[in-house]
Chain A
Amino acid sequence: MDKHFARSEMLPPLPPPLTERGVVKWLRENLFSTPFNIALTLFGILVLWWLVSTSLPWWLNSVWVADSLGQCRDIVAANAGEGATGACWASIHVWWGAFIFGFYPPEEWWRPILAFGLLFAALAPVLFAGQKRNLTLLLGVVAAFLLVTLWLAGTPTLAFLLAVALIAGLVGLAQVAPGRLLWFTLVYPALCFWLLWGGSIWSPLVAMAGFAVLYAVFRAASPLIGLSPAAGAGFVAAVLWWLYLDAPVAAALQSVLPLAIEAINSDQFGGFLLATVIGVTGISFSLPIGILLALGRQSDMLIVKTLSVGFIEFVRGVPLITLLFTASLLLQYFLPPGTNFDIILRVIILVTFFAAAYLAEVIRGGLAALPRGQYEAADALGLDYWRAQRLIILPQALKISIPAIVSTFIGLFKDTTLVSFVGLMDPLRGVTTILRADINWKGIYWEPYIFVGFIFFLICFGMSRYSMYLEKKLKTDHR
């Protein structure tokens, strides 16, 4: 009788062989798959080892509190033995005020801080349109940031209470009617200007009233003479307002109800305050100008097209440094002597033009990527030019161009460091040069670069992450 062996229960599966699982598999597949990859891996490990072994002691021996570089060296020598190297972050510790605010008076630091916090409150409805949760979250973060920093900066009580009331109002508004927050975004430029430069509150208010004039004339005239002529008339009226009525009205209001905070000179701006002022203004004004230029370049109207092409090609054809030198030096020759045309303003205008020219080409790329059918569909619906652009063409074209637009913005923000060549105190070169000219810190090299680079990285990385978020949110194709 044969005996049969029959297994009555299932064997548990064996684990895969050692070489086919876990870390070993990953290493084999990713690092040691071919002789070439093995060589590369070994080389990479060597480089990493060299980097870490040479710089680690420097990081570990960091000194945070000292009065001079010599003292730093003494502390390092005392802690780690003679001949050891160590980072001297004490230099940043002593000079951080100049790195962040330049020579903005310390008792007024609450003003740029408040302006910075409110910047995000103003951006919130633009960045997170229609998303109440994100909106509330961002405003909450802004509120927390402002409460802590304003308190630390020793804000005057009245200003502190006003700021708290303003933020509470904004958070409340976000709950009730998030759409209305855009109104705050519209007033923000005037508020920011007033906070940063100070002086009479009436001058920015009256300047903003120019836009109200523009809108009023446009609304009143458009039923009578049509959209485009009405826009032109509104523009002329606004320019007349700014040229002839602005200053007297502001002066009159100031004499009736004097409301002013201490005026701060442009030459006291510096560090990241300066970089942010130039960068943010440049970014927010270059986008609309860039869109108009891109549309102008595609226009059928000869003059509009020629002007747009001429502007774009001229500005893109010269380096930013040239434009900055033009702003700082050449303009002075053309203006009558004694004209005090603020240097930061001059630089902002030219940086904005520069970025606008690049953006125009980026957006033109987006426009060109749209299928012809979209334009024809807009025509077939009977939309006029502006409606077609606003409702059909631009939303798609801008969506396509988001990565390139954000890249231009990041480039613009980093380019703000070039203003050191015209004697402005940018954080990278301007403040660093001054720090190194201080006899206490002369000879310091890496620390300011690392500090400034780190902050630039944080800001640019933030912009880049936001652009990825936006792309994901707006993704409508079903690939």
Chain B
Amino acid sequence: MKKSVFFGALAATTLVAGLSSAGTVDDIKARGELICGSNTGLTGFGTPDASGNWTGFDVDLCRAIAAAVLGDATKVKFVPTTGETRFTALQSGEVDLLVRNSTWTASRDSELALDFVAVNYYDGQGFMVKKDLGVSSAKELDGATVCIQTGTTTELNLADFFKQNNISYQPVTVADDSEAQRQYLAGACDAYTTDASGLAASRATMPDAENHVILPEIISKEPLGPVVRHGDNNWGDVVRWTYYALLIAEEKGITAANVEEVLASTTDEEVKRLLGASGDMGVKFGLDNAAFKNAIMAGGNYGEIFARNIGEGTSINLARGLNALWTQGGLQYAPPFR
């Protein structure tokens, strides 16, 4: 009896405590800092440099969101999360959102009570092989040894793919990317499989990059994007529309450099609304009216962020591919801003 009273009281306290922090945006403003769950280190997407400054494709999205909410892109605290701790860190409120290459799946949405609010990178699992293996398609990999990281969705995708195509393979399990690269280069496996973006980054740093090819088949869908927890829809909207603002900016040709210029000269009503020159779209999200303008000024539009961190011209050298705007045959499509 007493015990149940105690647990009841505990539950009530938790509930009240939970209610009191209902507004993530208000919490962030009160704290003066956005807490962004990031990778422990992933080339091009999110990693600190030798003096602790975070850079990367995912990191720039966090900075844009901080700029939208707080008006200052530097007010972000990056909390490194591992594959094991990331979702719990989000659920327990230790971070405000996760932007760390997490794949959007049905069970993560439902069972883990998370909301994937957008897809900032469409990835997919691919294969890399040595050129002298003479293979031009993944379907020719019958009997091959394949290096694969354990405990990831890529392991399951690999099994599915080979089963569907009725060919056999020998898995060589490795713990992480660096070990996989090492084993692959040492000849312990014929093929290395992981997300295509990861393959490209690995290939870029190999001593003999020209001797390795990434096969054309992409065997899985890996939509990666920012994640928030259930229960605060307004915060989810803020994250989603900050991201869309970056997409619209690219579509309309607004860059970090020319934003003031565009604002002064534009006749496009949607651009005016986006930059806060007309209407009160920012206020409707509970933000400043110039919020989305600040987000664009933080690190540029989606295309600029892509090009700076992972795009062609960087060492990672990823093509836009699926991540091109819908106007250029890609999947990146923002709903109208009105």
Contacts and interface: CB of A to CB of B under 8 A. Distances in A.
A421 B84 contact: yes
B171 interface: no
Interface string A204-215: 000000000000
A436 B178 contact: yes
B228 to A, nearest CB: 15
Interface stretch (B66-74, B150-158, B201-209): B201-209
Interface string B31-59: 00000000111111001111110000000
A437 B176 CA distance: 12
Contacts of A328: 85, 89
B315 interface: yes
Interface stretch (B75-83, B130-138, B279-287): B75-83
Interface residues of B, number: 45
A423 B81 contact: yes
A444 B205 CA distance: 9
Contacts of A425: 80
Contacts of B314: 439
Contacts of B13: 336
A439 B50 contact: no
Interface in A92-130: 94-95, 97-98, 102-103, 106
B258 interface: no
Given A95-B50, A337-B21, A423-B80, A434 B41 contact: yes
Interface string A397-425: 00000000000000000000000111101
A89 to B, nearest CB: 15
A69 interface: yes
Interface string A75-99: 0000000000000000000110110
Given A332-B93, A439-B43, A443-B205, A423 B85 contact: yes
B88 interface: yes
Contacts of B77: 267
A437 B52 contact: no
Contacts of A69: 205
Contacts of A445: 178-179, 181-182
A338 interface: yes
Given A329-B92, A423-B85, A433-B41, A103 B52 contact: yes
A433 B88 contact: no
Given A434-B40, A443-B178, A445-B178, A421 B51 contact: no
A445 B179 CA distance: 8
A73 B314 CA distance: 20
A62 to B, nearest CB: 17
Interface string B159-192: 0000000000000000011110110000000000
Contacts of B49: 438
A328 B13 CA distance: 21
Contacts, number: 105
A268 interface: yes
A57 to B, nearest CB: 16
Please indicate which of the listed interface residues B44, B85, B177, B178 has the most CB atoms of chain A within 10 Å of its own CB: B178
Given A328-B85, A436-B178, A423 B40 contact: yes
Contacts of B20: 337
Contacts of B315: 439
B85 A103 contact: no
Contacts of A21: none
B106 interface: no
Contacts of A423: 40, 79-82, 85, 89
Contacts of A325: 84-85
B18 interface: yes
Interface in B5-47: 13, 17-18, 20-21, 27, 39-44, 47
- A contact patch SS: helix
B316 interface: yes
Contacts of B50: 94-95, 97-98, 438
A438 B56 CA distance: 10
A98 B49 CA distance: 9
Contacts of A385: none
A443 B21 contact: no
A445 to B, nearest CB: 5
A439 B204 contact: yes
Contacts of A102: 52
Contact of B201 (A70, A434, A442): A442
A90 B39 CA distance: 25
A437 to B, nearest CB: 3
Given A328-B85, A425-B80, A439 B205 contact: yes
A434 B48 contact: yes
A430 interface: yes
A437 B43 contact: yes
Nearest to A443: B205
Given A70-B205, A423-B79, A434 B47 contact: yes
Nearest to A104: B52
B21 A329 contact: no
A266 to B, nearest CB: 11
B181 A443 contact: yes
B109 interface: no
A73 B207 CA distance: 7
B311 to A, nearest CB: 13
Given A333-B92, A442-B204, 4 more contacts: A103-B51, A434-B47, A439-B44, A443-B181
10 contacts: A267-B77, A329-B88, A332-B93, A423-B81, A433-B176, A434-B41, A436-B178, A437-B42, A442-B201, A443-B207
Interface of B: 13, 17-18, 20-21, 27, 39-44, 47-52, 77, 79-82, 84-85, 88-89, 92-94, 176-179, 181-182, 201-202, 204-207, 314-316
Interface of A: 69-70, 73, 94-95, 97-98, 102-103, 106, 267-268, 325, 328-329, 332-333, 336-338, 420-423, 425, 430, 433-439, 442-445
Lowest 10 CB-CB distances: which A-B pairs, in order? Answer: A103-B52, A437-B41, A332-B92, A437-B47, A434-B41, A442-B205, A443-B205, A336-B17, A433-B41, A337-B21
